Structure 1
Amino acid sequence: MAEVDLADLDAFAAVARSRSFRGAAGGRSVSPSSLSEAVRRLEARLGVRLLNRTTRSVTPTEAGARLLERLAPALGEVAAALDAVNSFRDSPTGTLRLNVPTIVARTVLPPIACAFLAGHPAITLEVMAEDGFIDVLAAGFDAGVRYDERLEQDMIAVPIGPRIQRYATGASPAYLAVHGAPEHPQDLLAHACIRHRFASGASLPWEFERAGEVVRISPKGPLVASNIDLEIAAAEAGLGIIATFEDALAPGFSRGTLVPVLEAWWPSFSGPFLYYAGRDHLPAPLRAFVAFLRERARER
């Protein structure tokens, strides 16, 4: 039987689970081309095609599906065996791969990540910030950060960051001087508004709440973007009213480049969670991060 490289087997499993070379590469900080080469090398050594590839999809062949079924538990055991060595170290080592929403990477994660890494110098943290809702485990991540409405029911969730957040609305003083301030959410339909569009193509309605009354509107405006920095810059330049996470607008409020709008209507919601699969042997870096978050919560 042909000798095969364990790394090539691992690369195949990652691609087969995520059904994407790009998705598997994102969770491993390697290039899609390197994973493609590893799979080609494995197929050549085994003498059988393992993946069907088109410009739109990657799917396991019958042989590939059979190999993945038998291979996944074995690779898990190898990873657990290697990680067990970490219990003999003074400090855990290894790589922790997280998939998080862009707003979490921007406003929630920086102080947490910096404090964690300062206390765990042998751990490397890899963060992929994106707003698409993917299967983080299939894509090769150890854990993800999501808000409660997006949590899978079979995952373990640990609070991370602020427990209550708000969705805020703001505009520049120059815009309000010319157009006036809205007094009710419905007034926004007569204003220029800056909208956010997710990677999926969705642009969600704006939601407001006060004393049990909920108002949802879909305003119009001069800019629809998928980048919060561009949206904030447009609002500060006086192009319209913006609605997003309060934490993202807080610097503008502090500088005076933005002014709160309809503050009595800002809805609040529960903060994000770190979530991961409940299994007996967590990788040492993930186990250390979970312990760090729980200790941080106790201290607060």
Structure 2
Amino acid sequence: MDSELRDLFAFLAVLHAGGFREGARASGLSASRLSESVRRLETRLGVRLLHRTTRSVAPTEAGARLAERLVPALGEVEAALDVVNHYRDRPAGTLKLNVPATVARLVLPPIVAPFLKAYPDIRLEVVVEDSFVDLLAAGCDAGIRYDERLEKDMIAIPIGPRVQRMATAAAPTYIAEHGRPRHPRDLLRHACVRGQFASGVIPTWEFERRGEIVRVDPDGPLLVRLGAAVDLAVAAAVEGVGVIHLFEAWLQPHFDSGALVPLLKPWWQPFSGPWLYYPGRRHLPAPLRAFVDFVKARPAR
């Protein structure tokens, strides 16, 4: 790609991500390389395009006007280059997905291997992130999220199991010492292993039976970051630290081995499965189109 064009893409990567380090993570380039590209572009144009601080960057008036015209123009350039993919025997290129840890653990494993075998010229990058994400700013082609966390104005198609459940469990040693809860509110008297989102929010545990919904906020000796440290929470529950409330599929191997015992099963609440989502544009990059078609062709579960 011509150096002037690369500099323009670098400028947009930094602007969309809100900083050079963030732009580097999104683009796969180093922060120093992005900085050099933007500086070279500013020198060539003779105007400052970005206001730089130690924490972030913001466009100058000239930078904002340039970005306004560049986004659709460079989008057309990328689309034009990708058209060549349709003349290959097989789609090629990089597909970058942004997914939460639960999806990386429970949804993608049966999909990734057969997809890459079917399309050996595609390189798949998976970014695991549990917070809300601006796909374009993050430099991703598509994301996978649940209903309540989908970005607006996106095309979404179902991926993975269509119905999932949250399960509650404890180790046999814990049950022998503390007994079984008979109702969700009994958990308020038990030691519970809790999770916390990156925002600091600790989600309540929700249960449902015959139309009755019960939400509880129990206490316990261990609090972990959801996504990053869920395996630690599961290991602690297996060792008898307390009661855990997590995706059924995540706990199933421990149910099968007997390391964990299901609790309050009639109250386990079902919910709809995740969605693959991407910007609604007429032309999809060939790797994303291949992935969308592959997901659509898989039998529903």
TM-score above 0.5, yes or no: yes
RMSD, matched Cα:
1.6
Closer, same or farther in 2 for the Cα pair 1:285/1:171, shift >3 Å? Answer: same
The answer on whether the counterparts of 1:4 and 1:45 sit within 8 Å (CA) in structure 2 is: no
Q: Secondary structure at the match of 2:143?
A: strand
Specify every segment of 5 or more residues in structure 1 that has no aligned partner in the other structure, as ranges.
none
Aligned residue in 1 for 2:291: 289
Aligned residue in 1 for 2:10: 11
Deviations 1:137-190 (A, max 9, x none): 222110110111122341110111000000111111111111111111111111
Closer, same or farther in 2 for the Cα pair 1:293/1:53, shift >3 Å? Answer: same
Aligned residue in 2 for 1:59: 58
Identity of aligned residues (%): 63
- What is the CA–CA distance in structure 1 between the aligned matches of 2:34 and 2:249, rounded to whole Å? 38
Aligned residue in 2 for 1:159: 158
- What is the CA–CA distance in structure 1 between the aligned matches of 2:59 and 2:223, rounded to whole Å? 38
Q: Secondary structure at the match of 2:169?
A: strand
Closer, same or farther in 2 for the Cα pair 1:171/1:40, shift >3 Å? Answer: farther
The answer on whether the counterparts of 2:145 and 2:274 sit within 8 Å (CA) in structure 1 is: yes
Closer, same or farther in 2 for the Cα pair 1:34/1:231, shift >3 Å? Answer: farther
Q: Secondary structure at the match of 1:27?
A: helix
How far off is 1:269 after superposition?
A: 0.5
* 1:243 matched to 2:245: yes
Aligned residue in 2 for 1:272: 274
Q: Secondary structure at the match of 1:42?
A: helix
Deviations 1:79-134 (A, max 9, x none): 01110000101100000011001110111111111111110000000010011101
Aligned residue in 1 for 2:259: 257
Aligned residue in 2 for 1:200: 199
Closer, same or farther in 2 for the Cα pair 1:35/1:231, shift >3 Å? Answer: farther
Aligned residue in 2 for 1:83: 82
Aligned residue in 2 for 1:144: 143
Aligned residue in 2 for 1:118: 117
Q: Which amino acid aligns with 1:103?
A: T
Q: Secondary structure at the match of 2:164?
A: strand
- What is the CA–CA distance in structure 2 between the aligned matches of 1:52 and 1:6, rounded to whole Å? 21
Aligned residue in 2 for 1:128: 127
Closer, same or farther in 2 for the Cα pair 1:269/1:93, shift >3 Å? Answer: same
Q: Secondary structure at the match of 1:257?
A: coil
Q: Which amino acid aligns with 1:297?
A: P
Q: Which amino acid aligns with 2:241?
A: L
Deviations 1:198-246 (A, max 9, x none): 1122111111111111111111111111111111111111111111111
- What is the CA–CA distance in structure 1 between the aligned matches of 2:213 and 2:93, rounded to whole Å? 47
Q: Which amino acid aligns with 1:160?
A: I
How far off is 1:254 after superposition?
A: 1.5
- What is the CA–CA distance in structure 1 between the aligned matches of 2:89 and 2:167, rounded to whole Å? 44
How many positions carry a matched residue from both structures?
297
Closer, same or farther in 2 for the Cα pair 1:110/1:31, shift >3 Å? Answer: farther
Aligned residue in 2 for 1:48: 47
How far off is 1:8 after superposition?
A: 1.8
Specify every segment of 5 or more residues in structure 2 that has no aligned partner in the other structure, as ranges.
none
- What is the CA–CA distance in structure 2 between the aligned matches of 1:30 and 1:200, rounded to whole Å? 28
The answer on whether the counterparts of 1:26 and 1:128 sit within 8 Å (CA) in structure 2 is: no
- What is the CA–CA distance in structure 2 between the aligned matches of 1:269 and 1:259, rounded to whole Å? 22
- What is the CA–CA distance in structure 2 between the aligned matches of 1:169 and 1:191, rounded to whole Å? 12
Q: Which amino acid aligns with 1:258?
A: L
How far off is 1:4 after superposition?
A: 5.3
- What is the CA–CA distance in structure 1 between the aligned matches of 2:12 and 2:178, rounded to whole Å? 57
Worse overlay, 115-124 or 137-146: 137-146
The answer on whether the counterparts of 2:106 and 2:249 sit within 8 Å (CA) in structure 1 is: yes
Aligned residue in 2 for 1:188: 187
Select the residue among 226, 232, 235 that pairs with 1:233.
235
- What is the CA–CA distance in structure 1 between the aligned matches of 2:221 and 2:198, rounded to whole Å? 19
Aligned residue in 1 for 2:209: 210
Closer, same or farther in 2 for the Cα pair 1:202/1:56, shift >3 Å? Answer: farther
Q: Which amino acid aligns with 1:294?
A: K
Normalising by structure 1, report the TM-score: 0.94
Residues 171-182 of structure 1: pairs in structure 2 closer than 5 A: 171-182=170-181
The answer on whether the counterparts of 1:96 and 1:142 sit within 8 Å (CA) in structure 2 is: yes
Q: Which amino acid aligns with 1:111?
A: P
- What is the CA–CA distance in structure 1 between the aligned matches of 2:175 and 2:157, rounded to whole Å? 41
Normalising by structure 2, report the TM-score: 0.94
